[in-house]
Amino acid sequence: MGTLEVLQVINAEDQTVAGAVQRVLPAVARAVDLVVAARQRGGRLVYVGAGTSGRLGLLDAVECPPTFGTAPQEVVGVLAGGDGAFAVAVEGAEDDPDLAVADLEALGIGPADVVVGLAASGRTPYVVAALHHAGQVGAATVSVACNPGSPISALADVAIEVDTGPEVITGSTRLKAGTAQKMVCNMLSTAAMVRTGKVYRNLMVDVRPTNAKLVDRARRIVATAATVDEERADAALRAADGHAKTAVVMLLAGCGADEARARLARHGGRVREAVTG
């Protein structure tokens, strides 16, 4: 094959992934509801995996604070072999069930939490042990696998089985299986944040403006949400100490920053209710 032919084959296979994810949306929805319930009782969303699967969970976890203004401990990624295994593979870590138990015990996993086990094969020993331990201590459990009838599915309260089929390079699950897992993680965290008031309309009103790009984005979010020009949005943001959600409530409810914060606190951080309530 020429280069273009290789790419066409990969692309054709990639186009099947969204359909495979679509077929399991009811299971994803049940998993999101578990995460929402956990967040409402002060629990955490904890991704657990090894290799590519674990890296995808960790990636989703670290992107939640800047996107949704969550604290780092609200969404956690646990990678077999530790965070250092993100860049350099730690051989044998995925086969160590005792390591999985130790990692979850170190986090103090308990009944308030949701543990999402990610394994393309559905049988990684580290993930199997993690889900078994999570279930024993009363945490809600979700599995994400790309093989039907996998061992981790049998251990989970909600089993998400995205049947992506054979890979272009046999066994290279960083391809379609990895894409499917990334899509599911995106859905789990994003939909849960939407359901718990971290989004207003389709706007990231809890964005954390930690760099110049995000400062500009926060200004545009406030301007769009409150239907004002960017000058007014910028003034409101300064009065709100840079917190876009507070600035939006200030402008929509016609109140000061302290009142906006109080309204948000009364309504669980939901902008719509804070403005009308």
Please give the positions annotated as active site: 63, 94
Structure tokens at 179: 């894409």
Tell me the CB-side half-sphere exposure of residue 19, using CA atoms within 13 A: 7
Residue 141 to residues 31, 48, 113, 176: CA-CA distances in angstroms?
9, 11, 9, 24
Which residues are paired to 219 by β-bridges? Answer: none
Which residues, including other chains, have CB under 8 Å from residue 118's CB and lie 6 or more apart? 47, 48, 49, 53, 54, 56, 57, 127, 144, 181, 185
- The span from the CA of 116 to the CA of 112, in Å, is 13
- The span from the CA of 128 to the CA of 124, in Å, is 6
